[in-house]
Structure 1
Amino acid sequence: FIEDSELYNRIVLGAFLPHSAWASLPRFFQTWLRNYIGGVLLYFISGFLWCFYIYYWKRNVYVPKDSVPSRRAMLLQISVAMNNVGWLSYVVYLAIYMIIVEFGIYWMHRELHDIKPLYKYLHATHHIYNKQNTLSPFAGLAFHPLDGILQALPHSLSLFIIPVHFTAHLALIFIEGIWTANIHDCIHGKVWSIMGAGYHTIHHTTYRHNYGHYTIWMDWMFGTLREPEEDEGKAM
């Protein structure tokens, strides 16, 4: 794979840039630059050839002459395609993406409890750690592989709904590994609205509350939220 990637980098970057401009870059950036250049070329070459074929070479065959888009319209489309969405739009997209992920993971997690075969054969493996003295950060990834895949699905499926930069997607997946360790350490961080370990410990002891992911909002909306302070009050 690495050899193939380096070959493609040499072919594309070597054809359009001086060797000194890209040879010293890390392989990750070389590959990104190669994909960017290749994507832009594919966009313009395929678009130009297709327009030439249907609008000029085969004029009036596929599209009537008076229905051919103006050059101004096509240039505007190119401008939109080549410009960034802008930071404000990007932040909005990311926020919507996170809401969809929160919603998806909440319901995926809840159904892993409510659908008995899924719980018995998949999710129960994770819930053998059901007391504070058996939970530890290592319990975060102690689950059936299919369980992990199902709970990660909302991250991937959301990409088909909301445009999010791939680097942001990868960063969020990386953060998952840290987050899942954090919420199993049984230490209540007392940060309101964050579904921290205080909330998740309750989930492991009651099985019917706090299915949420990063925040408590989905549990609050769907009536499954249980506050750590409630348990502390009962203990007293």
Structure 2
Amino acid sequence: MANHTFEPLEERTFQYQNSLPPLPVPNLEESLSKYCDAVKPFLSQEEFENTCKIVKRFENGIGKELHQKLIERARVRKNWLEEWWLNAAYLDVRMPSQLNVNFGGPASYLEHYWPSKNGVTMDLVLNVADYYVFTPYVYPASWSEDNSFRQLFSLFLVTNIGALAIYFLFGGLSYYFVFDHSLMKHPQFLENQVRREIKFSMQSMPWISIPTVALFFAEVRGYSRLYDNIDSSPYGWFGVILSMISFLFFTDMAIYWIHRFLHHKLFYKRFHKPHHLWKVTTPFASHAFHPIDGFMQSLPYHIYPFIFPLHKITYLGLYIFVNIWTVSIHDGDYRVPTFLKQIINGSAHHTDHHLYFDFNYGQYFTLWDKIGGSYKNPSSFEGNGPHDHCKKLKEDGESSRNGNANYQKFTENGKNK
């Protein structure tokens, strides 16, 4: 009776579980071949050929690494699939589904099993470059897109090409449509200055990009706090907006102190003085830095996402905005709404920094200059700026020419008499 109560008379469900052979890992090439055969009926010929190319790249690239990890997993587990299937696919997702359901496919209820990878901003640009340029035309098929050396080299190319594109696009637009070319007649405007600014910038950018690429690489590898879904924001959309504001204030504060540090006598002559060669700047002076100076002043932008959470699209947008702002404070356009003149560190403030050296170190705002005792009301707001000097020179020149003309007329009249 006891045996009938506590021991089943029929075979138990998992009675022979331990006698089963280990679950083999399918051959990678065969699995991918079967995948192509499975999708072929649903694709056009062109779509099928493109799919096969992608599958081939996967097989020769990251697919090998993933397959090897499955083999290693199978060495220490009798059934390498059981944990994922039982826990994720069966126990956690208890919902009706069709028999041919693919639990590895895209579905909203499975997002928490494959969460978005943090710390990837440059992947947006890098993936586009890989898909359209690098993979089909530059790198051999055997070089995985996830290869560290390939990523570093790609980031170097993308960073430099992107920096040059932003520099010439926004610098050129500002130079031709915003910059007042009468400033080129200012006594402190150098001979061939525009050409020299561009040459200096192009020589510096590749060197500035080297440490910058190292930081971008750390982002791509997931070491920053960047995220790509609003759901990952601590406070949703409000958190995204808050991060934009905090980014501006954090970088403004950090750049103020770095900039002021670079004006110290131990560092100024060697690193920062080249940028002060341009007293009356054009938009093309915006990136004309010594490489160490340029990287140090850009560093706060790059370290922010390693300290604070930031949406990666927001970060990319802010990165472009920062470059545009840098162009704008060198464009000689001093127009600012009256109520913002004491708040925004615009072109008028930065022009005085170039002219008078020890004032207006800030990037966006005047806050830290006022705290640090380095604020100076722009001379342009007081009628004594570069435009005013050029205007006075023009008036003096006209007066001189008029005076010479009158004198010549007077002497000629005297001779006639």
TM over 0.5: same fold? yes
Deviation at residue 39 of structure 1 after TM alignment: 5.1
Pair 1:230–1:138, CA change in 2 (3 A): closer
Measured after TM superposition, the shift of residue 126 of structure 1 is: 0.4
TM-score of the aligned structures, taking structure 1 as reference length: 0.62
- Aligned match of 1:73: none
Deviations 1:81-103 (A, max 9, x none): x6543112332233223211110
Instruction: Give the match for residue 275 of structure 2.
Output: 126
SS in 2 for 1:185: coil
Q: TM-score, normalised by structure 2?
A: 0.37
State the alpha-carbon separation in 2 of the partners of residues 37 and 10 from structure 1: 22
Instruction: Identify which of 224, 228, 234 aligns with 2:374.
Output: 224
Cross-structure match for 2:36: none
Say what the alpha-carbon RMSD is for the aligned residues.
Answer: 3.6
Which is further off, 181-190 or 102-111? 181-190
Question: Which of 24, 27, 40 is the equivalent residue of 2:115?
Answer: 40
- Please tell me the residue identity of whatever aligns with 1:125: P
Measure how far apart 1:15 and its partner are: 9.0
Task: Map 1:47-126 onto structure 2 (within 5 A).
Answer: 84=233, 85-114=235-264, 116-126=265-275
Q: Kindly, what percent of the aligned residue pairs are identical?
A: 32
Corresponding letter in the other structure for 2:263? H
Q: Which runs of 5+ in 2 are unaligned?
A: 1-53, 67-101, 119-230, 389-417
Kept in 2: contact 1:96–1:162 (CA 8 A): no
Change (3 A) 1:37 1:146: farther
Aligned-pair distance for 1:42? 8.6
Q: 2:330 aligns with which of 180, 184, 190?
A: 184
Which residue of 337, 354, 362 maps to 1:212?
A: 362
The match for 1:173 is 319
Count of residues in correspondence between the two structures: 174
Rg comparison, structure with higher value: 2
CA distance in 2 between partners of 1:143 and 1:199 (Å): 19
Deviates more, 1:222-231 or 1:164-173: 222-231
CA distance in structure 1 between the partners assigned to 2:114 and 2:105 by the alignment: 16
Letter in 2 for 1:197: S
The CA distance in 1 between the partners of 2:330 and 2:322, in whole Å, is 13
CA separation in 2, counterparts of 1:170 and 1:218? 26
Give, in angstroms, the shift of residue 201 of structure 1: 0.3
Residue identity in the other structure for 1:175:
F
Is the Cα–Cα contact under 8 Å of residues 209 and 224 in structure 1 kept in the other structure? yes
Partner in structure 2 of residue 138 of structure 1: 284
Change (3 A) 1:105 1:38: farther
Q: Distance in 2 between matches of 1:121 and 1:222?
A: 24
